[in-house]
């Protein structure tokens, strides 16, 4: 048995790695489909650790056949952990009680993982001094957790995706269980060995079939999330990118959230880009676009012959690459990202504004996703807007897409007041985009100004003209600034994310 002890310690490392991977999978998937990643990860980590405690406590009731029970637990973890991602995707698409399934899966996996280490320590207690046993097992457990936390965001999600990662680590867990029938051979009843090995081979074979069909499983799961057929899907390092095609055209979704529909995106992007371009007192030459990796905002910017350079800063290189290589998207953006005047920079906009020294821009267009989590909320904070001011000329104009003043009234006006608190004069405006409903923007400058009223006809726009430009700056009663005082969105309070979650949750 002594020569097998190092191999059993290797099991500890594998077990710890697999366990944390399942926890990260659940947290990531929940943040994809439910938003608010901080809340989802916080709840899931807490439940998972609590469940591990339950598993450790339950291990005291297993008094005999420890080696057999250890193999059984490994195979159970392999099955539940391995199918966790596809199961959760299907549940979200088809069941109204997704949260119940999510938390049940997390508690189930956590309980089983909590059983593993105590059982293995009891199996090894006669081979090593207790002090040495505890030190080695816990050290390897933590090292395995570190390996998982590094591999998951850097390699596993971008390369394998959530479903395939889930199934692959289920196979690894099952392999540990099957391997255990040889390592722990003297401790397992002879009549049980063959049965355990058959179970192990069956579980591995089942998960291998799932891994081979992972793309099919992912598509089947996602088809339940989207009304139209999926024509493109990938998991980047930062998000899940899905493109669908339906009767009205094609649509882009990031982490399940609609970014645009080709049927009416021109209304959104014309309203976003042209007010700040026309509000600049001279001829705009240097333009900054933050977000907008699909290239559609850049398309509108390039209508102006005076433009000499466009700097597009978008976090995800896979998104900006897609804007060039996916034909339906590159045709829609008129190959704007291939224009020689356009420089694409893949970076966190907050960090880029903090660290980059550059000549000031004439116009800045901020086209981030809605602030449905704290990572996005920082991009709507006073600190962010002050950083943005440092990259502008005194006469420069800036626009920020700002969610819906009808569906999320407090969120919208929180953004307006945050921009004003950062030293800008703000001119809020809104328009109708059928895919989104009433949608809001904020036009801002560092000095008092009047919004533009005239739209040159040579721009050849499909929606925006002089009459609709003036109408956009008028707010009816139900979308106007609320009377109650709103919090300013700062890095240390993220008030906007709280407003946003509370308001949009009403429509789920």
Instruction: State both tokens at 161.
Output: 């995706």
Q: Find out whether 459 and 305 touch, Cβ atoms under 8 Å.
A: no
Q: What DSSP state is assigned to residue 486?
A: -
Q: Distance (Å, rounded) from C-alpha 429 to C-alpha 451?
A: 10
- Which three-class secondary structure state does DSSP give residue 318? helix
- Assign 3-class secondary structure to 347-412: CCHHHHHHHCCCCCEEEEEEECCCCCCHHHHHHHCHHHHHHHHCCEEEEEEEEEECCCCCCCHHHH
Instruction: State both tokens at 160.
Output: 């394998």
Q: Find out whether 378 and 384 touch, Cβ atoms under 8 Å.
A: yes
Q: Is the dihedral of CA 355, 322, 371, 265 positive or negative?
A: positive
Residues 6+ apart with CB under 8 A from 469: 274, 275, 278, 451, 452, 453, 454, 455
> Given 3-state DSSP classes, what are the helix, strand and coil percentages for the chain, each rounded to the nearest 5?
60, 15, 25
Helices (H), 125-244: 130-151, 157-183, 190-212, 214-223
Which is the catalytic residue, given 339, 367, 370, 471? 367
Concerning whether 362 is annotated as a catalytic residue, the answer is no
- Residue count (the chain): 508
> 251 phi and psi, to 5 degrees?
-135, 150
Q: Which residues are catalytic?
A: 367
């Amino acid at each position: 048995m002594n020569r097998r002890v190092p191999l059993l310690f290797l099991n500890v490392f594998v077990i710890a790695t697999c366990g944390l991977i399942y926890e990260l999978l659940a947290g990531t998937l929940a943040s994809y489909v439910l938003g608010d990643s901080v809340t989802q990860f916080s709840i899931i980590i807490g439940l998972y650790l609590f469940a591990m405690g339950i598993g450790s406590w339950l291990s005291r009731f297993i008094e005999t056949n420890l080696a057999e029970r250890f193999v059984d637990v490994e195979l159970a973890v392999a099955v539940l952990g391995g199918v966790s991602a596809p199961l959760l995707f299907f549940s979200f698409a088809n069941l109204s009680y997704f949260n119940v399934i999510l938390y049940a899966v997390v508690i189930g996996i956590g309980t089983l993982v909590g059983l593993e280490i105590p059982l293995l320590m009891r199996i090894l207690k006669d081979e090593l001094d207790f002090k040495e046993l505890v030190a080695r097992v816990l050290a390897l457990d933590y090292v395995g957790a570190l390996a998982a936390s590094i591999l998951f965001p850097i390699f596993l999600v971008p390369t394998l995706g959530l479903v395939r990662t889930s199934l692959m680590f289920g196979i690894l867990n099952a392999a540990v269980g099957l391997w255990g029938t040889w390592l722990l051979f003297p401790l397992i009843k002879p009549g049980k060995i063959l049965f355990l090995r058959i179970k192990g081979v069956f579980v591995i074979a089942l998960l291998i079939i799932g891994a081979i069909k992972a793309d099919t499983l992912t598509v089947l799961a996602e088809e339940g999330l989207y009304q139209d057929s999926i024509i493109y899907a990938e998991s980047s390092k930062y998000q899940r990118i899905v493109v669908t095609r339906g009767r009205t055209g094609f649509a882009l979704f990031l982490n399940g959230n609609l970014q645009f529909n080709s049927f009416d995106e021109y209304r959104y992007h014309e309203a976003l880009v042209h007010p700040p371009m026309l509000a600049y007192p001279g001829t705009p030459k240097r333009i900054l676009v933050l977000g907008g990796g699909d290239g559609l905002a850049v398309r509108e910017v390039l209508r102006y012959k005076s433009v000499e350079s466009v700097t597009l800063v978008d976090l995800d290189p896979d998104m900006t690459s897609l804007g060039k290589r996916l034909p339906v998207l590159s045709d829609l953006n008129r190959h704007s990202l291939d224009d020689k005047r356009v420089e694409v920079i893949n970076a966190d906009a907050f960090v880029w504004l903090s660290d980059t020294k550059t000549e000031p821009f004439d116009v800045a267009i901020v086209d981030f996703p809605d602030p449905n989590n704290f990572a996005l909320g920082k991009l709507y904070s006073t600190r962010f807007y002050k950083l943005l001011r440092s990259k502008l000329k005194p006469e420069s104009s800036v626009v920020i897409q700002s969610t819906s003043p009808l569906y999320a009234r407090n969120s919208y006006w929180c953004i307006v007041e945050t921009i004003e608190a950062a030293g800008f004069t703000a001119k809020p405006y809104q328009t109708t985009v059928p895919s989104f409903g009433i949608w809001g923007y904020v036009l801002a400058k560092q000095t008092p100004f009047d919004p533009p009223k005239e739209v040159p006809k040579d721009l050849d726009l499909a929606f925006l003209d002089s009459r609709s430009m003036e109408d956009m700056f008028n707010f009816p009663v139900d979308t106007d600034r609320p009377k109650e005082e709103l919090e300013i969105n700062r890095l240390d309070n993220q008030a906007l994310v709280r407003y946003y979650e509370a308001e949009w949750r009403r429509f789920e």
